Structure 1
Amino acid sequence: MGLAGIALGDWRAQGRGLLFRGQRIRYWVAGQGAPLLLIHGFPTASWDWHYLWQPLAERYQVIACDMLGFGYSDKPLGHDYRLLEQADLQQALLAHLGIEGPVHVLAHDYGDSVAQELLARHHEGRFQMASCVFLNGGLFPETHRPVLVQKLLLSPIGFLVARGFSRRKLAANFAKVFGPHSQPSEAELDDFWSLIAEQNGPRVMHRLIRYMPERRQQRDRWVVAMQRGDVPLRVIDGAVDPISGAHMVARYRQLVPEADCVLLEDIGHYPQTEAPGEVLRHYFDFRAGVD
C-alpha cells in the first residue's frame, strides 16, 4: 500500500493552537466519525503520523497534538515534565474540541505510556476509552532497553548530553533502532531533527527523559489496566526494534490475557513511518472487529 504522506511544511500549516496551563500547544484535526486520538513518541512529534493521517481521516475524526516539550508546542525550560500531565493535556484537547464520548487511541513509544495512563483512568471512571492500539513502546519497564543516549540523558550529566545532541547523533541513534531495510532518508532525518530543534528543544530532553522512572512508578497500575480486558487492545510491533521489539511482545503475551499482537518482521521502532501500509492494514483489521 503506497502512502504519499504529508510534507512537514504543509503539516505545520494545518496546525491549530491551544493554551494548556499557560503553554502553547499545537494540534491537528481532520475527518469525521468516531474520534481517534493519535499520541506520538519521544523525541519526535505528531508529524510521525503523516503517512497514516489522510487514510485514517477518511474513516474517523483524527486528532493529534505535539505534547508539551515536543515539536511545535512550547518547550519550557525547568519544567517538571510528567506523563500524567501529558495525559491531562490529551483530555484537555478533547474537551477543547467538545468530544465527550468514548475515544479510540493509537499510540507509539512515549505515547504508549500516556495511553496506558488514559486506560487506567478509564477504569477509574475519569476517561472513556473505546479501544487502544499500541505501536512499539515501553509497555513494561522490565523489557524496555533504552539506547545509550537515553541512559546518559537520565544520568547526572544529562543536561550536558542534551546540549550536545545534534542531527548527527539523531541519525546515528535512528540507524540503530530502525529496521535494516526501512532506514529513514536524509530528508526525513532533516525533518525529524527540525522538530526536535524547534525552540531549542534539545535543552529539555534531559527533563523529558524522566518518563523512564515514571513508568516504573506507574507500572503495576498500568499493567492491571491492560489486564482488565473490557477495552479492546492490540499491539502492532516492529519485531527487530532493539528497544521494544519482539522481546516486549513476548512479555505482553505472558501478562495480558488473550493478547492480540501483530509482529512486523524486519521493521524497527517506528513502524508508522517504516511500514505505514502494514500498520494501516492491521489497524483497520482491528477496528473491523471492534466497531
Structure 2
Amino acid sequence: MSELPGIALDAWRGQSQALDFGGHAIRYWVAGDAEAEPLLLIHGFPTASWDWHRLWAPLAGRYRLIACDMLGFGYSAKPRGHAYSLLEQADLQQALLAHIGERRPVHVLAHDYGDSVAQELIARHQEGRLQLASCVFLNGGLFPETHHPVRVQKLLLGPLGPLIGRLFSRRKLAQSFARIFGPQSQASEEELDALWQLIQCNNGPAVMHRLIRYMPERRQQRERWVTAMQATAVPMRVIDGAFDPISGAHMVARYRELIAGADTVLLDGIGHYPQLEAPSQVLEHYLQFRARQEMPCSAEPS
C-alpha cells in the first residue's frame, strides 16, 4: 500500500468541534457517514488525536469516526490543579458518544495511554455499562509488568515532576521520540513541530506531571482490566511496532501468555507510534481484522 498523506495540523484544528465536559472545553472530531459503523479513536500520551491524521481519511471512507483530545491533551482544556484519571477519560469518551447521539455498539482503535482508557471501556462493557463491538490496541502498556517507561516519564512521576514538566521542550520531545520510533521511520521535523504545538497548547507542559499519574493508576486497575479482557467476547487485536522499547515485542509476548486465542500483529522495525510510522500497514491490518469480524459463519462441511 502507498504511504498515506495525512492532514495538516491547521486544517485538522479547523475541523474540530466543542464539547463541555464538567466545565472543561473539549475539542472533538467526527467524520464519515453517520449511518456507517461507529469507530472511536483514542490517542496516547503526551500527544493528541492528530496522531490519527494519516488514517483519518481512509477510515472515514468506511466508518463513522469519532475522536477527541482528552482532558489535559492537545487542543482541549488543561486545568492546572486537576486530578487527571484514566477512569475520568473513559467517562469523557462515553460523554462524547452521548453528545453526538451515538447509541450503537462502538468499535475502538486505541494507542498508548488510550489503550488503558480502552481497557476501562472493556471492563465497563463486561459490567453492562456500555456496548463495544471490537477493540484494536496499538503500542501501549496493557500490562504494568511489561511497561518500560522512558526516563522523562519516570522523572515526571518523582518529586521534581512539576519542574521536569515545565522544562520539557521541543528539543526534549525530539530526543525522546528518536529513541522510541523505529530507525527507518523517524518523525520528520514537520511532524515534531506539530506534535510539540499540540503539547504546548494551553500550557500543557505544566500539567504533564499530573497526567503521568496514569502509570500508578494502571497498576491499581490491572486485575480488573486483565480479567475483563480474558473474559470478554469482544473481538480484540494488537497491532504493535516490535522495535518499541516501551511496549514493543516484549508486551506482545505477555499478551499472548495472558489472552486466549490472542490475535496479534508485529510490525518489524516499527516503534511506538505505528499510526505515524507505518500508517499503511496499520490500515491494512486494521481492515483485515474488521473484514474477519464481518465474515458470515462458514457453513458446516457436507
1:34 pairs, out of 37, 49, 53, with: 37
Whole-angstrom CA distance in 1 between matches of 2:229 and 2:57: 29
Per-residue deviation at 1:256?
0.2
Contact 1:153 1:161 in 2 (8 A): yes
TM-score w.r.t. length of structure 2: 0.96
- Which residue is 1:265 aligned to? 268
Partner deviation per Cα, 1:146-174 (whole Å, 9 max, x = no partner): 00000000001100100100000000000
Once the two structures are overlaid, the 10-residue window that deviates more, 223-232 or 167-176, is: 223-232
Q: Secondary structure at the match of 2:204?
A: helix
Mapped to 2, the partners of 1:258 and 1:231 lie a distance apart of: 12
Whole-Å separation in 1 of the counterparts to 2:237 and 2:101: 27
Report the Cα offset of residue 35 of structure 1. 0.2
CA shift, 1:290, in A, is 1.2
- Out of 176, 187, 194, which is 1:184 matched to? 187
Indicate whether 1:112 and 2:115 are aligned.
yes
Deviation at 1:111, TM superposition (A): 0.1
C-alpha distance in structure 2 between counterparts of 1:84 and 1:253, whole Å:
26
Partner of 1:172: 175
Residue by residue, what CA displacement relative to the aligned partner does 1:231-282 show, whole Å, maximum 9, x if unpaired? 0000000000000000000000000000000000000000000000000000
Alignment check: 8 A CA contact 1:17 1:27 kept:
yes
* Shift of residue 47, structure 1, vs aligned partner: 0.1
User: What is the aligned-residue identity percentage?
Assistant: 73
Cα distance in 2 for partners of 1:148, 1:237 equals 21
Aligned residue type for 1:78: G
Cα drift, residue 43 of structure 1: 0.1
Q: Can you list the C-alpha shifts for 1:183-207, whole angstroms capped at 9, x where unaligned?
A: 0011110000000000110000000
Residue number in structure 2 paired with 1:201: 204
How many Å apart are 1:289 and its aligned residue? Answer: 1.1
Aligned residues: 291
SS in structure 2 of the partner of residue 77 of structure 1? coil
Q: Deviations over 1:60-87 (max 9, x none)?
A: 0000000000000000001000000000
Q: Does 1:97 align with 2:100?
A: yes
Distance 2:173 2:83 in 1: 24
Show the 5 A alignment for 1:1-291. Answer: 1-32=2-33, 33-291=36-294
Separation in 1, partners of 2:3, 2:87: 36
Root mean square deviation, CA, Å: 0.5
Cα distance, 1:101 vs. partner?
Answer: 1.4
Shift, 1:127, TM fit: 1.1
Q: Which runs of 4+ in 1 moved over 4 A?
A: none
Whether contact under 8 Å (2:86, 2:217) holds in the other structure is: yes
Q: Matched residues in 1 for 2:207 and 2:24: separation?
A: 15
Matched AA of 2:227? V
Q: Determine helix, strand or coil for the equivalent of 2:225.
A: helix
CA distance in 1 between counterparts of 2:123 and 2:177 reads: 31
d(CA) in 2 for partners of 1:256 and 1:129? Answer: 18
Distance 1:63 1:208 in 2: 22
Query: Is the contact between residue 126 and residue 232 of structure 2 (CA under 8 Å) also seen in structure 1?
Result: no
TM-score normalised by the chain length of structure 1:
0.99
Kept in 2: contact 1:133–1:233 (CA 8 A): yes
Unaligned residue ranges in structure 2 (runs of 5+): 295-302
Q: What is the alpha-carbon distance in structure 1 between the residues aligned to residue 167 and residue 157 of structure 2?
A: 14
Q: 1:18-75 deviations in whole A, cap 9, x for unaligned?
A: 0000000000000020000000000000000000000000000000000000000000
Distance between the aligned counterparts of 2:281 and 2:247, measured in 1? 18
Residue 104 of structure 1 aligns to a residue in which SS? Answer: strand
